[in-house]
């Protein structure tokens, strides 16, 4: 039977992007992104038999409104909101989201402020100098966009682990030297020592260090594009490597649980959550809980211990 997890996650991420272009409510946008992430991590495939509000609401991050959209997608193969957004934003504009350096906010500026509706118009306006005058752009960024357009760069690709080790070490050094930071660890496939790496996922122990960390990072890496920033997360691209870096700032009580969660792999996380559920717990990136009460999460080791499992080294978490 067909699983809808990945398709729904893609649809919700697209809804979030398009709502961002339209400058919609930020909390609504965050809700769709959270639901998309949860759907990708849900421990079992969702099928048509799950198309019930009371079932879908059990997924963290899914409320009644999003559950209704999930049900519509599973039953009808569409989401009315997404189709409405497609009518509001031309396809060629949506395609600009795939160009390096261009997140939803910048695409909004190009679409709304300059009326750019295609990659061809973007190339023309970039060469004319019109884009450089937009807030947050400038000559240097426009040159990087031109290079991306003319070379046909894609936003994301996998990297040989060894080739990005110097960048990873530089990021760690900068973050560790940032005031308010007491711990830094690269998670994801990099920590699992995979031969190739997609994004760099970095966890930082230091909840209030984001603004200063962002300032220090942008000084150290000249050719970058900020994709998202806030009090708990910084996301940016480093060029010419075309490497996306996602940095999350987490509190002490959640640091170990977050490190476990973002290290992965997906299959390993599924196994851990199944074990937790079997013992009456809830495990997520915020910690290990029982009946709503926090049990563990400061370190990975205490999570493994509470679940009665041996500590599995990151490179064995396949």
Three-state SS string over 119-172 comes to HHHHHHHHHHCCHHHCCCCHHHHHHHHHHHHHHCCCCCCCEEHHHHHHHHHHHH
**Tokens representing 175?**
């973050």
Q: Are 65 and 75 in contact (CB under 8 A)?
A: no
**Tokens representing 113?**
């402020």
Q: Which CATH number fits domain 161-250: 3.30.200.20, 3.40.50.1820, 3.30.460.10, 3.40.50.300?
A: 3.30.460.10
What CATH code would you report for 253-316? 3.30.210.10
Q: What is the pLDDT of residue 42?
A: 66
pLDDT tens for the chain, residues 1 to 318: 678 888 998 899 999 999 999 999 988 998 998 898 888 776 678 889 999 999 998 888 899 999 999 999 999 999 999 999 999 998 888 888 888 778 888 899 999 888 988 888 888 888 888 898 888 888 888 888 887 787 665 555 678 898 899 999 999 999 999 999 999 999 999 999 998 898 899 999 987 888 899 889 888 887 787 877 778 888 888 877 778 899 999 999 999 999 999 998 988 998 999 999 999 999 999 999 998 899 999 999 999 999 999 999 999 998
All CATH 1.10.150.110 domain ranges in the chain, comma separated = 5-88
The CB-based long-range contact list for 126-135 (8 Å cut-off, 24+ gap) reads 134/109, 134/110, 135/109
Closest of 200, 210, 201, 205 to residue 232, by C-alpha: 210
What's the sign of the alpha-carbon dihedral 93, 94, 98, 104? positive
Q: What is the pLDDT of residue 255?
A: 95
- Name the fold adopted by 91-151: DNA polymerase; domain 1 (1.10.150)
Q: What is the pLDDT of residue 151?
A: 67
Pairwise CA distance, residues 288 & 285, whole Å: 8
Q: What is the pLDDT of residue 135?
A: 86
All CATH 1.10.150.20 domain ranges in the chain, comma separated = 91-151
Q: What is the pLDDT of residue 185?
A: 96
Q: What is the pLDDT of residue 305?
A: 96
Q: What is the pLDDT of residue 157?
A: 62
Homologous superfamily in CATH for domain 5-88: DNA polymerase beta, N-terminal domain-like (1.10.150.110)
């Amino acid at each position: 039977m067909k699983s809808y997890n990945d398709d729904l996650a893609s649809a919700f991420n697209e809804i979030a992007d398009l709502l961002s272009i339209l400058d919609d409510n930020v909390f609504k946008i965050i809700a769709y992104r959270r639901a998309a992430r949860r759907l990708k991590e849900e421990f079992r495939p969702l099928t048509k038999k799950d198309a019930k509000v009371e079932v879908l609401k059990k997924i963290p991050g899914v409320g009644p409104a999003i559950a209704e959209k999930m049900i519509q997608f599973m039953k009808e193969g569409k989401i009315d909101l997404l189709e409405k957004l497609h009518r509001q934003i031309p396809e060629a504009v949506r395609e600009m989201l795939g160009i390096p350096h261009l997140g939803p906010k910048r695409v909004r500026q190009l679409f709304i402020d300059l009326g750019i509706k295609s990659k061809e118009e973007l190339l023309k306006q970039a060469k004319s100098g019109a884009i450089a005058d937009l807030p947050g752009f400038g000559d240097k960024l426009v040159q990087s966009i031109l290079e991306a357009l003319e070379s046909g760069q894609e936003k994301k690709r996998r990297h040989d682990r060894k080739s990005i080790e110097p960048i990873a070490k530089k990021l760690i050094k900068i973050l560790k030297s940032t005031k308010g930071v007491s711990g830094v660890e690269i998670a994801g496939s990099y920590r699992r020592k995979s031969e190739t790496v997609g994004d760099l996922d970095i966890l930082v122990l230091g909840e209030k260090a984001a603004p200063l960390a962002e300032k220090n990072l942008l000084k150290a890496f000249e050719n970058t594009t900020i994709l998202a920033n806030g009090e708990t997360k910084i996301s940016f691209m480093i060029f010419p490597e075309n490497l996306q870096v996602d940095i999350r700032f987490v509190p002490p009580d959640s640091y170990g649980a977050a490190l476990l969660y973002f290290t992965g792999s997906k299959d390993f996380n599924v196994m851990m959550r199944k074990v937790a559920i079997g013992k009456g717990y809830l495990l997520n990136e915020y910690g290990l809980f029982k009946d709503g009460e926090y049990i563990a999460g400061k370190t990975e080791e205490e999570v493994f211990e509470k679940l009665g499992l041996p500590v599995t080294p990151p490179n064995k978490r396949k």
